């Protein structure tokens, strides 16, 4: 059951301890601790790939996404709480759980972010030290879930999606914002992306010794093609109700057109990441 820790205002859900030994957990926990001693701007710049004003624009860029965010929801893999806090600014939002296993992100950073973005409404965001693989909420209790750049970090996407489906109401929506590659991307190209070794700048920014060998794959970065995302959704019984690709006006994003005939929208704001583009799926329960 949920255990509300009044003093620090966060819930704790059971976590599979395996996650605590992953490279991405250790990196995020260390970074969250170091930057929590700085200020709001440093925390959001270092932990979140996209600045809050651009996250806000991304949430509003597509009407179907924006109107799905209502009443009660959960931000899965919520990091330091930027996405959840921005969503909670909407009047129509009653509460949003911000689910994140990284202890220092939840305990040390989320209070700072919630305070700054929401001020007296900060309690609309309920911080949860937990994972999206074990969501301790009542079945059919949420109107929406959202995951920004977090679903590719799931080590068992089918399990994660089943958890999400369980807690969504009948007409609830799951908004997945992530990256996806064309279906004609070869296995060799995918492996190449996964095996990229982080450079010195990244190692330095994340407080590693400069001789550390850390690949993107070791850091929890998984590279899915459109057909793989769609296969996962179908297997669990999610229906893709809407999809759109959002691209920065940047040559990296513009040089490849998707091979799924998905509508693309070019925007003026920065959406970050290596590819400078994101896929948004709005999923409904079948
Ligand atoms: C790239 S970050 C994105 C954070 C946030 N959504 C944002 O956009 O700022 C991915 C987040 O997913 C979290 N994560 C990884 N595995 C998770 C799991 N099993 N359950 C919940 N969150 C997880 C990571 O700790 C990390 O904070």
Q: What percent of the chain has pLDDT over 70?
A: 97
Give the integer Cα–Cα distance in Å for 252 and 267.
14
Which residue's CA is the nearest one to ligand 1's atom 25? Answer: 102
How far apart are the CA of 27 and the centre of ligand 1, in A? 12
pLDDT at 259: 97
* Ramachandran angles phi, psi of 177, nearest 5°: -115, 120
Take residue 251 and report the two structure tokens written for it.
């040559």
Are 22 and 220 a contacting pair, CB within 8 Å? yes
pLDDT at 9: 86
Which residue's CA is the nearest one to ligand 1's atom 7? Answer: 48
Residues with CB under 6 A from ligand 1: 19, 28, 48, 76-79, 82-83, 99-102, 105, 131-133, 148-150, 153-154
Take residue 159 and report the two structure tokens written for it.
């399990």
pTM of the prediction? 0.96
Between helix 110-118 and helix 40-47 the angle, nearest 10°, is: 120
Is 80 exceeded by the pLDDT of residue 5?
no
Q: What is the DSSP letter of 231?
A: H
> Ligand 1 pocket: which of 77, 104, 108, 159 to mutate (most atoms <8 Å of CB)?
77
Are 275 and 57 a contacting pair, CB within 8 Å? no
Which residue's CA is the nearest one to ligand 1's atom 15? Answer: 153
Are 277 and 248 a contacting pair, CB within 8 Å? yes
Which band of pLDDT confidence, cut at 50, 70 and 90, is reported for residue 137? very high
Are 208 and 214 a contacting pair, CB within 8 Å? yes
Average pLDDT on 25-35 reads: 95
Which band of pLDDT confidence, cut at 50, 70 and 90, is reported for residue 8? low
Average predicted confidence (pLDDT) for the chain = 95
Which residue's CA is the nearest one to ligand 1's atom 19? Answer: 131
pLDDT at 253: 94
Which of the four CATH numbers 3.40.50.150, 2.40.50.140, 3.40.50.720, 3.30.420.10 does domain 10-285 have? 3.40.50.150
Which band of pLDDT confidence, cut at 50, 70 and 90, is reported for residue 1? very low
**Residues 94-132: pLDDT tens digits?**
999 999 999 999 999 999 999 999 999 999 999 999 999
Beta carbons within 10 angstroms of residue 262's beta carbon: 17
Is 90 exceeded by the pLDDT of residue 280?
yes
Which residue's CA is the nearest one to ligand 1's atom 23? Answer: 77
pLDDT at 48: 87
**Residues 233-269: pLDDT tens digits?**
999 999 999 999 999 999 999 999 999 999 999 999 9
How far apart are the CA of 78 and the centre of ligand 1, in A? 6
Which residue's CA is the nearest one to ligand 1's atom 22? Answer: 77
Give the integer Cα–Cα distance in Å for 220 and 194.
9
Are 283 and 61 a contacting pair, CB within 8 Å? no
Average pLDDT on 87-97 reads: 98
Are 23 and 240 a contacting pair, CB within 8 Å? no
Chain-centroid distance of CA 262 in Å reads 21
**Residues 147-200: pLDDT tens digits?**
999 999 999 999 999 999 999 999 999 999 999 999 999 999 999 999 999 999
Take residue 248 and report the two structure tokens written for it.
């920065």
Which is the closest atom of ligand 1 to the Cα of 28?
Answer: 25
Give the integer Cα–Cα distance in Å for 233 and 14.
25
> 33: exposed, middle or buried (C-beta count within 10 Å: 0-12, 13-18, 19+)?
middle
């Amino acid at each position: 059951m949920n255990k509300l820790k009044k003093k620090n205002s966060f819930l704790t859900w059971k976590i599979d301890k395996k996650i605590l030994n992953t490279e991405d957990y250790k990196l995020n926990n260390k970074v969250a601790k170091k930057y929590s001693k700085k200020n709001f701007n440093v925390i959001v710049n270092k932990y979140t790939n996209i600045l809050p004003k651009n996250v806000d624009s991304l949430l509003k860029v597509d009407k179907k996404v924006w109107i799905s965010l209502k009443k009660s929801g959960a931000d899965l893999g919520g990091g330091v709480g930027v996405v959840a806090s921005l969503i909670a600014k909407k009047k129509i939002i009653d509460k949003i759980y911000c689910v994140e296993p990284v202890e220092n992100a939840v305990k040390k950073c989320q209070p700072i972010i919630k305070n700054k973005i929401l001020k007296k409404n900060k309690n609309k965001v309920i911080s949860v030290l937990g994972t999206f693989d074990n969501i301790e909420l009542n079945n059919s209790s949420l109107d929406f879930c959202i995951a920004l750049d977090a679903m590719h970090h799931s080590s068992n996407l089918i399990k994660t999606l089943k958890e999400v489906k369980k807690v969504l109401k009948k007409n609830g929506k799951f908004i997945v914002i992530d990256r996806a590659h064309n279906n004609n991307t070869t296995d060799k190209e995918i492996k190449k992306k996964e095996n990229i070794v982080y450079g010195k700048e990244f190692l330095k920014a994340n407080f590693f010794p400069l001789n550390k060998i850390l690949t993107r794959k070791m850091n929890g970065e998984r590279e899915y093609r459109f057909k793989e995302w769609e296969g996962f959704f179908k297997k669990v019984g999610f229906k893709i109700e809407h999809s759109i690709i959002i691209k920065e006006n940047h040559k990296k994003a513009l040089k490849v057109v998707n091979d799924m005939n998905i509508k693309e929208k070019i925007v003026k704001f920065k959406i970050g990441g290596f590819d400078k583009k994101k896929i948004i799926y709005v999923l409904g329960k079948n």
